[in-house]
Amino acid sequence: MNLQDWILQGKIESKIQITMNLIERYKHSDDPHASLMVIAYEHGLQDLMEIYEAIQRKEVIPF
């Protein structure tokens, strides 16, 4: 893994953690639109996880 990949991985991990925290925050919120925010953030989290997994697979490829 080169430095650029390592930095990208760190950024994605940070964004995943932030998004997970936001999901938990809105799950416990009294905001009338909280359920919509949870759905939106969960969708974004799914995209981030797919990108993160793609980066992980890239590391495993020996060629």
What are the tens digits of pLDDT across the range 32-49? 999 999 999 999 999 999
Predicted local distance difference test score (pLDDT) of residue 40: 98
Other C-beta atoms closer than 10 Å to the C-beta of 61 total 6
The residue written with tokens 């990949």 in the block is 5
Compute the distance between CA of residue 54 and CA of residue 48 in angstroms, rounded to an integer.
10
**Binning pLDDT at 50, 70 and 90, where does residue 56 land?**
confident
Mean pLDDT value across residues 17-42: 98
Q: Is residue 2 scored above 70 in pLDDT?
A: yes
